[in-house]
Amino acid sequence: MTATESTYRGRARIAEPGEGIGLDELALATRNHGMPLEALRYDVTPPGLHYVLVHYDIPATEAATWELEITGAVERPLRLSLADLTARPSVTSRVLLECAGNGRARYEPRPVSQPWLLEAVGTAEWTGTPLAPLLEEAGVSPRAVDVVFTGADHGVERGVEQDYARGLPLAEAMRPETLLVHAMNGAPLPPQHGAPLRLVVPGWYGMAQVKWLRRIEVLDRPFDGFQNATAYRLKADADDGGVPVTRIRPRALLAPPGWPDFMTRERFVHAGPVPLTGRAWSGRAPLTSVEVSTDGGATWAAAELAPADPAHPFAWRAWRFEWTARPGSAELVVRAADAEGGQPVEQEWNRQGMANNLVQRVPVTVLP
């Protein structure tokens, strides 16, 4: 059964000014989780520290009986077991992923949804087989436009009952880097990361990285399903059709220095040399710089950005800045730029809180 809006309630809502986080947002925050920012220290994020967003429930899946269907506007539909897929040529790729909703919880006003602060990121080693040769074997129609990836997770979103499904332009599906993935960091995919099979499309926000993948359908028209037509769009207001969320915008994050207060997560350091380190990335264009401000954005200085590693073109890059901390209060700010532009220092609001790459601000108390 697919129920309609008359069966289900559900709508997008903007929080009132000053409205605290609700129990519904908290229920998402306690299920899903970000990457604690001290984990920026790891080149490859351990699976349990990598961010997780599950739209509905983590489905119960069985690797032994799993089947992937490739169908739609193809000459020869395919059904493949996991053994069929793991027997094919294998690629391991280090890929930064980020949720399109990262940063949403600090928006003013706040779109009510998964309330990410800044931690919805991670970089893993994904092992799988390239999708393009499979689509070529299936014989994609010359009229093909989009490829729809459907997962096994089932739920309701803003009144629409659905299996999670995302359309991807054919050209992106045919990129050699687009993988059907069965392993993460050298081990079988954990349940929350899509076991036994998921899609990885380097450079795109997380909504494209369909987990628990069981169906690939080639369409000769644009996909108009919920996650493309309604959810993941940059909209000014409720009546705006918006534009699709696609590739990851540039961002730099700082591993907060010193030690934290448990409750406020406020940071403390001692005066003197304090090395600042973190990671930066962009999914749309090569990074060109990372800059640091230690005075809340009044002045900026270049950080040392590690060179791009040809072995890992889709990973994040380390950066470093030597700060001489003087007693008192400081506000650290970092910003990355790529060939298309830099991170905004002032909020650029959109109705669903998507693709927000506002700079990170880290207040620090410097003790004598």
**CB of residue 84 vs a second copy: minimum separation in angstroms?**
25
CB 34 within 8 A of CB 121: yes
Asked if 34 is part of the footprint of a second copy (rule: CB under 8 A), the reply reads yes
Q: Give me Rg for the CA atoms of the chain.
A: 21
Neighbours of 143 (CB within 10 A): 10
Asked if 328 is part of the footprint of a second copy (rule: CB under 8 A), the reply reads no
CB 248 within 8 A of CB 285: no
From the list 205, 197, 85, 186, the residue with the least C-alpha distance to 126 is 186
Instruction: Please list the residues that pair with 341 across neighbouring strands.
Output: 338
Of 92 and 192, CB closest to a second copy? 192
Asked if 79 is part of the footprint of a second copy (rule: CB under 8 A), the reply reads no
Identify which range of 72-80, 112-120, 207-215, 312-320 contacts a second copy by CB under 8 A.
Answer: 112-120
Find the binder of a second copy among 133, 139, 222, 260 (CB under 8 A): 260
Of 43 and 161, CB closest to a second copy? 161
CB 152 within 8 A of CB 18: no
Find the binder of a second copy among 236, 265, 301, 309 (CB under 8 A): 265
**CB of residue 307 vs a second copy: minimum separation in angstroms?**
24
Asked if 161 is part of the footprint of a second copy (rule: CB under 8 A), the reply reads yes
Find the binder of a second copy among 94, 166, 182, 193 (CB under 8 A): 193
From the list 192, 256, 249, 248, the residue with the least C-alpha distance to 39 is 256
Asked if 347 is part of the footprint of a second copy (rule: CB under 8 A), the reply reads no
Structure tokens that stand for 20 in this block? 């605290």
CB 348 within 8 A of CB 11: no
Asked if 326 is part of the footprint of a second copy (rule: CB under 8 A), the reply reads no
* Count of residues making up the chain: 368
Find the binder of a second copy among 4, 6, 23, 171 (CB under 8 A): 23
**CB of residue 367 vs a second copy: minimum separation in angstroms?**
7
**CB of residue 70 vs a second copy: minimum separation in angstroms?**
26
Pairing of strands 360-367, 304-305: unpaired
**Coil/strand/helix, residue 232:** coil
Asked if 268 is part of the footprint of a second copy (rule: CB under 8 A), the reply reads yes
Residue 137 CA, distance from chain mean position: 30
Identify which range of 57-65, 70-78, 201-209, 354-362 contacts a second copy by CB under 8 A.
Answer: 57-65
Asked if 116 is part of the footprint of a second copy (rule: CB under 8 A), the reply reads yes
Asked if 48 is part of the footprint of a second copy (rule: CB under 8 A), the reply reads yes
Asked if 10 is part of the footprint of a second copy (rule: CB under 8 A), the reply reads yes
Contacts 24+ apart (CB under 8 A), 268-272: 268/364, 268/365, 268/366, 268/367, 269/325, 269/364, 269/365, 269/366, 269/367, 270/325, 270/366, 270/367, 270/368, 271/325, 271/326, 271/327, 271/366, 271/367, 271/368, 272/324, 272/325
Asked if 122 is part of the footprint of a second copy (rule: CB under 8 A), the reply reads no
Identify which range of 64-72, 191-199, 285-293, 321-329 contacts a second copy by CB under 8 A.
Answer: 191-199
Find the binder of a second copy among 270, 295, 301, 339 (CB under 8 A): 270
**CB of residue 342 vs a second copy: minimum separation in angstroms?**
25
Q: What DSSP string describes 150-212?
A: EEEEEEEETTEEEEEEEEEEHHHHTSTT-EEEEEETTEEPPGGGTTT-EEE-TTB-GGGS-SS
Identify which range of 34-42, 142-150, 173-181, 349-357 contacts a second copy by CB under 8 A.
Answer: 34-42
> Site residues (CB under 8 A) for a second copy?
1, 3, 7-10, 19-34, 36, 38-39, 41-42, 46-50, 52, 54-58, 60, 105-106, 112-113, 115-117, 119, 154-158, 161, 190-193, 256, 259-265, 268, 270, 367
